[in-house]
Structure 1
Amino acid sequence: MISFSLPRLIKDRGGNFGMMTALLLPLSIGVGGMAIDLTNVMQQKSDLQSMADAATLAAAAKLSTTDAMTEEQAEEMAKDYLIGQKLQELEQQGLTKEQLAEAKAELLKSTEAEATITSTGGSSKAFVVKMNSTYAIQLNPLTQMLGFKTVPVSIASVANSAREGNALSMYLVLDRSGSMAWDTTTVDPVSPTKTVTQDAYGYYACTDWRGRPATCYGWYTETKTVTNYVTKIAALKAAASVMFTELLKASAPDVASANLQQEEAKKLIRVGAVSYTHQTQKEEPPAWGTTKASDYVQALPEQPTGGTDATGALDIAFAAFKSANGNEAAQHKTKGNDNFGRFIVLMTDGEMTGNSANWNQALDTKVRAQCQTAKDDKITVFTVAFMAPDRGKSLLKACASGEENYYESNDMTELVKAFGDIGRKAAKTAVRLTN
């Protein structure tokens, strides 16, 4: 017969390790799960913050460039932008349609946006877009052993923009590869026709040994009159001129004289330019006003040659304008400009090929990364695809700071319109985060 004694059981240390392991194992696993989740939560909060910043910046910029846009529309735009980005991320993670619908409902319920429009005198206005959002992040099964299923993260973002007479720094990054020598579909209005001489082979009018009219066969020189189309490089020069004019107008809207406008622009606007083939060409560093950049563009060769590689030119533009380089801020400070917009205008008529006729995926990937780095540094990127192939269009769509900053031009008229629009947007808009 086995007798039971409680005091003996308490004093007996046999099997203590197994008992303690059984008791502490769930806790240990849960703590390990929390360590994993901590990194994940911090990363997801950072990503959500970036999405919110992009949303408020986009809405604030849209307010300052669209007269008819209301505060309510800006608020909806900001919310749609944030929720759309988050759902796209979740879809890439493999969530089902039902899970995506639940996430959307949660975000709609927990996201608030507020936009305000304030008159600052005359036609000038200031715009503020604020956003707050909370999202519940799912914890992993290890952490859930401690009884925690989700953890909420909250973010806030505020973006400001203004209209009329804002200081800015702009860098033009322009394609001057061989295809820029090709014709557009626009007839030159000044010289609609031209005479061309070319070698031909076949029958042609000639004279025989006696000097009488005859018909000969072989090589001969043919001269004929053909339609004279504007080349792509000429169209680019005209479009850039329109953009510079818009920048000058915005700098001094009440001044009619171009010379006086240029003097006013030297207090607000700094413009640089760099061009590229498969090699990066000599740049024109940012300078006050538009004169030097305009001269640089007009001096581009009428018969450009070479392949296409924008990476070096983009490096030059970003190095000049990145926030870590204080030169632009110091230059604007001398003119009393405490805030200024930073813009890069990237234009191409092709795709990244390097020194070849074939698309180069490595160069395409690098350009995308460079554009993202610039956008992460809060530089606004405008892009113009001029009679470009699909891969060129895809690249520039990805590079642009939002759909409203991407332009697709299929003829000279559209190119001129695009550059004019860029000039108006840049000169009227100074957008910055303040959170």
Structure 2
Amino acid sequence: MFEIKDYSSIYDSIMQFNKNKTVSIHQWYPFVEGYSKEFIESILDELNYTPENVLEPFSGSGTTALELQFKNINCTSFEVSPFMHLLSSVKLYNNYNSEVFNSVLNSFKEILSSLPNKVRKIRNIENIPFGRTVVKSGNLKKWNFNDEALDGILDIKYTISFIDDEAYKNLFRIVLASILLEVSNLFRNGKCLSYKKNWETRKTYKRKEVHNLFLSKIENIIKNDIAILEGILKDTKVDNYSRLHFGDVRTNILNVTDNSVDLIITSPPYLNSRDYTDIYMLELKVLDLINNYDELNQLRRNTLRSHVQVKYEELSVLNVPTLKAYFNKIAKKELALWNNDLFNMIKGYFLDMNHLFEQFRRVMQPEKFIYFNVANSAYFGEEIKVDEIISEIAILQGFELVEIRKARNLKSSSQQSGSIKSLRESVIIFKS
């Protein structure tokens, strides 16, 4: 139905956050998902106008808003995850000062170094994070952190609590978040956290080693970047920090003024059953961003319907030909009853997309562009052409489809790999 243009030679490398892992500011936290700053630069290079007010509905680690801030371009962004919102805000904060940072760091090191003498049992003053499996207890067979590693983490949390300036306190919290996986028994395994191979017997971090790892990152990465950022900010007149909003984009976008946006750049959660609250559970727990199961469930309800962790009432299928054709195919197959959750997830995802494009149409100025990064999915042995379905949705909402660009091929899940070897990741361009 649609022509797909192959841009993989251009996009293959720049659609991965890996390129940002050694770039100042971006490197503060080892983000997995998302695109690199070069993707933003490529968009600005090909536009025939200089945007003034950009919208980023899914902030993630803040790449879009940060790069645009450096280029003095306003960007309104939204983020529903309290951890990702914290990460974005720390990177977007535009009033860091090397002298203040060094003062905070010196005080921090003084307090931390005194802890072994003053605090023998850190757990008496710093609570173990929420969750049944954080540390070994009772008859547990698996746990996230060994005792010494957790005590080292709690030492750092306790010391951070003495930082009065909220901006630097949050910066140090993000540095703590950046070492959690390394000192834990876990690793990110696609859609979830899994236990490292031989985690029970492998060498683990001692309490002091956790301190040293944290301080090494502060001294060798953050300190240098603060000095670099201080120089950059002298020429920065834009404040995208104040334009970052916390909460469900499906609701928050209603507050964006009509005809106020002249460019949208975003990459929403893919339709891959990936629950980002699971993937970043350590950060959410340790930083006290979720403290009980009610808060966890509410966060999941506030996210785009791209996972099955929340059960919804029976949803309708959006009246889009390619989506209906997919459901007609799988209707012919004998599927187990539990698959109803997956059916509802797929339906809900495109209902959410329809709502967003309805709002995009309202907020966008005429003759302006959307760059929308998505990937196709597969369930029940059938490919869901997400890029084409979203293109149909956008057209129905009054947008012109400029181009569907193939960015690269992604591996399909192990459940689908027998019939579908790879799935297309795309950048779709629309014009208002």
Tell whether the structures are fold-level matches, with TM greater than 0.5: no
TM-score with structure 1 length normalisation?
A: 0.28
The higher-RCO structure (CA 8 Å, 6+ apart) is: 2
